[in-house]
Amino acid sequence: MTTTPRYTADEMMTVTAARFLTTEMACFVGIGLPSTAANLARRTHAPNLWMIYESGTLGAKPDTLPLSIGDGILAETADTVVSVPEIFNYWLQPGRIDIGFLGAAQIDRYANINTTVIGDYSDPKVRLPGAGGAPEIAASCREVIVIVRQNSRTFVESVDFVTSVGHGKGAGQREQLGLTGLGPTRVITDLGVLEPEPRTRELTLASVHPGVAVDDVRATTGWELQVAPDLAVTAEPDEAELSVLRSLTGS
C-alpha cells in the first residue's frame, strides 16, 4: 500500500462534478473547477455536452482549458456566439440550460450563496466581486451544482448577504418566490457531497470522499449537519479520468 494519495482534493472534486454531467445536457460553465469538470466530462462520458460560457459562446469546444470566460478559443470553437443580453434573456431566462455551476464565499444550510460582502454591506469587512451571472443562474437553470471547499468560514449558519437563492428558508420557498429551476441539487466539496434533504431542503451529507470521516465534515460545517441514512463513500477517480484530467490541467 502506498501512503501517497493517487489524486489531489481538487481532482476528487473535479471528477465528482464531471460525473454528474451527461452528454445531452446544456451546461452553464464558470471558470476554474467547473470549467475543468465540464471539459473533462466532454472528453470522457459526455462527448456532446453543450458548454455555455456567459461571454455568449454556446457549444464551445476548447482544446485547452480557457483562463477566462471569454477567451478567444471559446468563440472560435463555439456553435454560435451571441451577445450578453441574448445569453441571459434568450438562453438562461426561459430555462434552456440544464445545469449551472456556482461557487461561494459563504453558503448556508439551505444552499443560499454569498459572493458579495463579508460583514455589513455598507461597511464590509471584505468586499467580494459580487453577483455576476449567479443570481439568475441559481434561479433559472434546471439544476445547480455548487463547488466549494469545505471549512467553517464558508459553511456558515447564516450568510452575510444572499447573492443567489438556494432553497431560501426551506421547503416550498423557491416555489413561493416563483423561481423556475430546482436550485442547488448538489454541493461538492473537498470532503464529500451534500444534497438537500427532499422534505426540508436542508443540505445533508450524502457521501464522503475516501478517507474522510463524518466528524471531519461536521467540524467544518457551521450548522448541525445531518447525515443521510444511506451515506455513501464517493467513488475514487479512475485512471482514465485522472489521465484525461491531467492532460487538461497540465499536472
Partner 1 sequence: MIVPLDEGIRELVHDGDTVALEGFTHLIPVAAGHEIIRQGLRDLTLARMTPDIVYDQMIGAGCARKLVFSWGGNPGVGSLHRFRDAVQNGWPAPLEIEEHSHAGMANRYVAGASGIPFAVLRGYTGTDLIAQTPDITTITCPFTGEELTAVPALTPDVAIVHAQRADRAGNVQLWGITGVQKEAVLASRRALVTVEEVVDRLDPVPGQVLLPARVVTAVAEAPGGARPSYAHGYYARDNDAYQQWDAVSRERETFEQWLRTEVRGNARPAREGGRT
Options 47, 64, 90, 121; binder of partner 1; rule CB under 8 A:
121
On the CB side of 119, CA atoms within 13 Å amount to 7
Site for partner 1 in 173-212 (CB under 8 A): 173, 177-180
Rounded to an integer, what distance in angstroms lies between the CA atom of residue 134 and that of residue 93?
12
By C-beta, is 130 or 211 nearer to partner 1? 130
108 binds partner 1, rule: CB under 8 A: no
CB 21, min distance to partner 1, A: 21
Binding flags for partner 1, 65-94, as an x/- string (CB under 8 A): --xxxxxx-xx-----x-xxx--xx--xx-
Binding flags for partner 1, 13-52, as an x/- string (CB under 8 A): ------------------xx--------------------
171 binds partner 1, rule: CB under 8 A: no
By C-beta, is 243 or 251 nearer to partner 1? 251
Options 27, 49, 134, 141; binder of partner 1; rule CB under 8 A:
134
Rg (CA), the chain: 18
Quickly count helices (H) and strands (E) in the chain: 8, 14
Burial of 249 (0-12, 13-18, 19+ CB in 10 A): middle
H-assigned helices in 7-122: 9-19, 33-43, 72-77, 84-86
User: Rounded to a whole number, what is the largest CA-CA distance in the chain?
Assistant: 54
CB 236 within 8 A of CB 210: yes
Among residues 11, 24, 54, 136, the one annotated as catalytic is 54
97 binds partner 1, rule: CB under 8 A: no
List residues bridging with 145 in a β-sheet.
101, 186
**Dihedral angle, C-alpha 195, 183, 162, 9, nearest 10 °:** 40
220 binds partner 1, rule: CB under 8 A: no
Options 11, 108, 136, 202; binder of partner 1; rule CB under 8 A:
136
Sort strands 117-120 and 123-127 into parallel, antiparallel or unpaired: antiparallel
168 binds partner 1, rule: CB under 8 A: yes
Rounded to an integer, what distance in angstroms lies between the CA atom of residue 201 and that of residue 178?
16
CB 202 within 8 A of CB 159: no
By C-beta, is 128 or 171 nearer to partner 1? 128
CB 100, min distance to partner 1, A: 13
136 is catalytic: no
- For 41, the 3-state DSSP assignment is helix
By C-beta, is 116 or 150 nearer to partner 1? 116
Active site positions, annotated: 54
Q: Which residues bind partner 1 (CB under 8 A)?
A: 31-32, 54-57, 67-72, 74-75, 81, 83-85, 88-89, 92-93, 116, 121, 124-136, 139-140, 161-165, 168, 173, 177-180
